[in-house]
Amino acid sequence: MVHRLVVSYGQPTDPGAFDEYYRDTHAPLAMEMPGVIGFTVGHGKSLDPSQPAPYFVAEIDFESEEAMGKAFASPEGQSAAADVANFATGGATMAHFEVREIKVGMPNLP
């Protein structure tokens, strides 16, 4: 079953520099981690104006939680993790979970 890492980045001091660095430097590092099977990114927008959205969100998928652990223990994973301090001036929050698909009309929540 797919295991997903979600990284939410706060508002950076220089959004243009963040976007350029993420695209040109950090994303290629993250994609070199062994076991990555999916990678999606996007700029967040809040549905509720009273609640700020993350500036940027990245989702990285692995085959399993074990595969994610091995990826971050690898030299490539350690390099990608250390690189966050080089551009995430607004901070970064990371969470991970096992992905479970919920089918419409068929409740199957955990």
Model pLDDT for residues 86-95, shown as the tens digit of each residue? 999 999 999 9
Q: Which domains does the chain carry?
A: 3-98 (3.30.70.100)
- 27 or 109: which leads in pLDDT: 27
pTM, 2 dp: 0.90
Give per-residue pLDDT as tens, 43-88: 999 999 899 999 999 999 999 999 999 999 999 999 999 999 999 9
Annotate the chain with three-state secondary structure: CCEEEEEEECCCCCHHHHHHHHHHHHHHHHHCCCCEEEEEEEECCCCCCCCCCCCEEEEEEECCHHHHHHHHHCHHHHHHHHHHHHCCCCCEEEEEEECCCCECCECCCC
